[in-house]
Amino acid sequence: MSTADDASKHAPGTGAADDRADGAGGAIIFAFVIGLAASLIVGWVVFPKLLYSQKRQPIDFNHALHLGLEDQNCESCHFFREDGSFSGAPALAQCIGCHAEVQGDSPDEIRFVEEYVQKGREVPWLIYSRQPQCVYFSHVAHVRAGGMDCVSCHGHIGESERLPVYEENRISGYSRNLWGHNIAGFKKDSWDRMKMDDCAECHAREGVTQASVQTTKEGCFVCHK
């Protein structure tokens, strides 16, 4: 080993300075990782919980019970009108035929009859899929023309015994179900998230072109007012 190398190796303070530099670099990287993790937790976990308020429907509707009755199916309550528009949440008139009087001893059934049926008041349902005013969605185009089933967008709601909690965006006032709970973009089922790119992806996969959905409106204005 040369004299110069030997002198450099034993120069006072050189090794300590390198150790301090390495330590500082490690601390910076550690702080960056911790900051990134904290930001992700706040952005993806904490913030959504603060952004949405939770509400319960005025009446807890049992889909499974109703579909288990004779001559009852989804179209008994949700159907297409003569003009092609879709009937979402059923009106009181559709319920009175079976619920003119209390059926069973369910607290929700009793409240429904006493507070709404007997008083002729419509139930103020919270609509999970209420669209912004600038958006137009055609059920008949997707269900009748496209052959889609309800599960593709709404999941297995027909098998549920209780209605899900309504989560309302504190800023926009719209339901979290409108676009889905997974804001990260990952989804397991088709109904987990419904955003513009999901629509575009499905249209491309099914070969739906602008010409095939052409109306009196053009391009983007087929779905957006």
pLDDT, tens digit (0-9, with 9 covering 90-100), for 133-191: 888 888 998 998 889 998 988 889 999 999 999 999 999 899 988 877 766 667 888 88
Answer yes or no: are the C-beta atoms of 112 and 59 closer than 8 Å: yes
Annotate 164-185 with b (16+ C-beta within 10 A) or e (fewer).
Answer: eebbbeeeeebbbbbebeeeee
d(CA 221, CA 225): 6
Instruction: Output the pLDDT for position 100.
Output: 92
- Which residues in the chain come in under a pLDDT of 50? 1, 7-8, 214-218
Instruction: Output the pLDDT for position 177.
Output: 85
